[in-house]
Structure 1
Amino acid sequence: MQIFPITYPIDVEQNSLYIGKQVVAIGDFDGVHMGHREVIGRAVQTAKHLGLPSAIMTFDPHPRAIMGQDKYTELLTPRERKMEIFSSLGVDHVYIVTFDASLMRLTPEHFVDHVLDKLGVESVVCGFDFTFGFQGKGTPDTLCELSHGKFTVEVVRPFQMNGEKVSSTLIRESLQSGDLDTVTRLLGRTYSLRGTVVDGDKRGRTIGFPTANIQLDEPYVVPIHGVYAVKATVNGESYRGVMNIGVKPTFKTGELKPSLEAHLFDFSQQIYGETMTVELVAFLREERKFTSIDALITQIKLDSDAARARLSEI
């Protein structure tokens, strides 16, 4: 899969972007959830039918972040993770369009004429709620009107599960309520976080539960503070464990930035500086403050047993 970072105005020749006619799925696709996969899958399928390359056009940063919605500075699938998922879906090319003030001010007509037409699209696939152009005035109907027969537009209907529309917003809300079952169902996979193992306060080893302190490499949406059953991958090997996300109120007060500490079962390697990916399998309980270290140790043992039990089910 080829990745083309592009900015507006687009100079196709200078950036070697023109690859001939192609089928493009367009959207932000944060989360690459089941609804997004329907749009992308349709583009890949149409491209194969027409004998053309398939492509995705996505945006970075998230358009809503540029429009002042701070919560969108944290993502379900930051850029690197999103590219990995796109590649697994059989996409040939990805255009990562820098979303800035100049792009934000484009009218729908200019977006079609100076972005889509520049790339030579044969067909565009988008979701029913796709918007584009200044103040989101462009809709799929607008896109059809502005194509003037130069390219076709395929609009994918809402993707529903259990009678509810799958959306990134619903996934974010479910992460903040600890409803990992819904998150996993809507994503079609477990939610994961990735970061570098860094030095912590090393308190875990003194109470019999050494942990890997993970510093996130990208701006992920961090779920509700609490304890999770997890699967972790480091150095190509997979392990099971229990992870705490939070501010460790038993030891600290006034801490604002959450830490991620994973205790891996039957694991004793030194992995400082290594990259670890942690899949959140089950939410066990919310974070809370304990009256003593002994009470905390007792609870960690219970959490570990609960995590082992949940992980044995998969």
Structure 2
Amino acid sequence: MSVVMTAGLSRRFGDVTALEGLTLELPEAGVIGLVGPNGSGKSTLIRMLLGLVAPTSGEAYVLGEPITAPGRYLDDVGALVENPAFVPGLSARANLLSLARLRGLPSSRIDEVLQAVGLTGRDKEPVKRFSLGMKQRLGIAAALLPDPKLLILDEPTNGLDPSGIVEIRRLLAELAGSGRTVIVSSHLLAEIEAVCDFLVVIRFGHLVYSGPVADLLARTRRRVEIAPEHDRDVSALRSLLSEEGWEVEPTGDGRLSVVAGERQGSDINRAAARGGIVLRSMTAVRGSLEEIFLEMTGSSDQELTTARAVAAQRSA
């Protein structure tokens, strides 16, 4: 069974189209990344899945139930949307106990979720002493209280330092390993590439890609970074390879980056040898998720702004 399925899902806020005709199917288990530029519609989609925003048109199902009847599935869904809100003067345990009582959940879950997010031993401290990363983990603990089948996290690493990001990344992998499905929205591509199995890319409310991360990475261009034996040969090597049809760019550190395509590193070596140049090093470099993401969504704020304006004119 698909954990989430949408068909022609759209949402408009006045003249602004947040989502347009979104059709996708998300698999059970693992970590699913939801990415896109700011304002792409990620948060709107999450709010619709949680029953917080009604669609303008189309339909969607969560755990097999329609989003028009969220009461049928929300007991099996945990969510962290934006920054978690807790009573600063109360301890982590007291905050979780209050939330458990409000939802009619057993207090026995508190120890389990504290253990899951790594806050055992810090649970009696007031939340106001917690770092941002600890507050995020406590927010995830609160979302885990109902022991959900599906966990939805909206930008869980927003504002965190590198160590906090690594902590949350490790936690997401552990949660997915326990058999849950975790949907996480983010604009940090390194985070998504490190932890997600499945990826959804949205741009200006339109679906750009939906599928395994590995399949998307397979689209990246194969590159080889090379360096001649003598630094004085860098310019000549670049000209030689360019004349033979290679796409070559300097890396800024005395090396050249060559798009290999279907050709092999041995072809590059032979081409250099024909020009009387000996290579000192040759390293195959795998393209990153960030590269193909930028190709799909735009590489700068100005490019995104221009594209958004064009898209708005077409839909007007």
Q: TM-score by structure 2 length?
A: 0.25
Larger CA Rg, structure 1 vs 2: 2
Q: Which has the higher helix share?
A: 2
Structure number with greater CO (CA < 8 Å, separation at least 6) is 2
